[in-house]
Homo-oligomer: A and B are copies of this chain.
Amino acid sequence: MNIPSKHIENAVDQIASLPGIGRRTALRLVLHLMQRSEAEINDFSNAFIEMKANVNQCSTCGNITDHEKCSVCNDERRDQTTICVVEDIRDILAIEATESYKGTYHVLGGIISPMDGVGPSDLNLDSLISRVATGDVNEVIFALSPTMEGDTTNYFIYKKIREYEIVISTLSRGVSVGSELQYADEVTLSRSLLHRQPFKM
């Protein structure tokens, strides 16, 4: 693609630098933006500058917030003695959407993945251990992805916090609610047999 404007070319490069967006899509988006007014383009561009200038990570849990502490850590109605460990801020949004969790969170900012060059020191781990070490925590819930990397990270954290007198749990794993049994993969199915639960009505 030989774009006859270096300014358009530059804008395309910037959009194409986002994950999962190729140059062809980027060009489509940039030409769409070109149709907008100068004021709209300013609003578009300033949204990112203002975001970068004003959004912080919560000093306690690493969640995004416009203040020093996030709305979860600041909320006295939430159980501050329970910490749910997640990989990413999007996991918090997913769990919050269930409206079934009343504790706090801790955002690792990644999971241990030697293949991607992510080690324990790249994660927001020390602050989790400090939170547990205060003695104010009763339970840590691992809510990482049910993958090899997630399990490795769970185990790494477990080794660091098992010395404290707290409950350590993970999300239950098994067949998805509403799915058809015959389509469940073998590992999931065999695990959910192994960890079968008492039948309750």
Contact of A89 among B31, B41, B48, B54 (CB under 8 A): B31
> Is A6 an interface residue, CB under 8 A from the partner?
yes
Whether A34 touches B55, Cβ cut-off 8 Å, given contacts A14-B43, A19-B29, is yes
Q: In the complex, what distance in Å separates the CA atom of A9 from the CA atom of B14?
A: 21
Number of copies: 2
A interface residues, tally (CB under 8 Å) = 56
The 0/1 profile, CB within 8 Å of B marked 1, for residues 11-38 of chain A is 1011001111100010111111110101
Is residue A122 contacting chain B, with contact meaning CB distance below 8 A?
no
Residue from the list B5, B18, B63 in contact with A4, Cβ < 8 A = B63
Which listed residue, B2, B43, B46, touches A97 by the CB 8 Å rule? B2
**Cβ of A10 < 8 Å from any Cβ of B?**
yes
Q: Which residues of B contact A10 (CB under 8 A)?
A: 47, 50-51
Pairs of residues from A and B, 10 with the lowest C-beta to C-beta distance, nearest first: A45-B45, A7-B51, A41-B52, A14-B47, A11-B51, A11-B47, A7-B54, A18-B29, A45-B48, A5-B64
